[in-house]
Amino acid sequence: FVLVFSATNAAHEEVIDVILASLAKSASFLEQEHRNINLDGVVGYTILQAELKEAVRTWPHTDPLSWSQRTATVTLVKRLDQSLAKAVTELEKTDPKYYREFEPLLIWTFWSVPHEWSSTDPSLAYSSGRTMECYDETQSDKCMTLLLGTWYTQKSN
């Protein structure tokens, strides 16, 4: 996603305009429906927020042709900041248990990957032939809260 925003030749500018228009519609939906967005939706918008902030941070300042697109992206980030704050507050009120368990995921910096993590060790990837176990939502949530370190908070309440 960030790579698409960083490329600024003429062919990519049109694609970026289409993407920004779609994301603006998505932001409008969040603005209108922030009271009704569930945890999964808020996490998705938070990931988008992190990606857009990174795109703005790395956007080349030397390309005057894409300056209006960068400005549109900055505006979109501000809209997401405001709407997500409302959505997170609403989520905290309507589903406090889930909120406490998954609160770290609701902060955009959680999704900001450190620049030092620019490569991976291919030997750590699962082989394509690996059989997968299915987890129900309860098992999946417990696994995530254990990874986040919030399971103990949940257990003590």
Residue-wise pLDDT for 33-55, tens only, equals 999 999 999 999 999 999 999 99
What pLDDT does residue 128 have? 65
Q: Is the pLDDT of residue 4 over 60?
A: no
Q: Is the pLDDT of residue 131 over 70?
A: no
Lowest mean per-residue pLDDT among 4-8, 15-19, 93-97: 4-8
What pLDDT does residue 63 have? 75
What is the DSSP code string of the chain?
-HHHHH--SHHHHHHHHHHHHHHHHHHHHHHHHTTT--HHHHHHHHHHHHHHHHHHHHS-TT-GGGHHHHHHHHHHHHHHHHHHHHHHHHHHHH-HHHHHHHGGGGSGGGG---TT-----GGGSPPTT-------HHHHHHHHHHHHT-HHHHHH-
The predicted-structure confidence for 62-113, as pLDDT tens digits, reads as follows 777 788 999 999 999 999 999 999 999 999 999 998 899 999 999 999 998 8
Q: Is the pLDDT of residue 143 over 70?
A: yes
Q: Is the pLDDT of residue 56 over 60?
A: yes
What pLDDT does residue 24 have? 96
Give me the residue spans of the domains in the chain. Answer: 2-113
Average per-residue pLDDT for the chain: 84
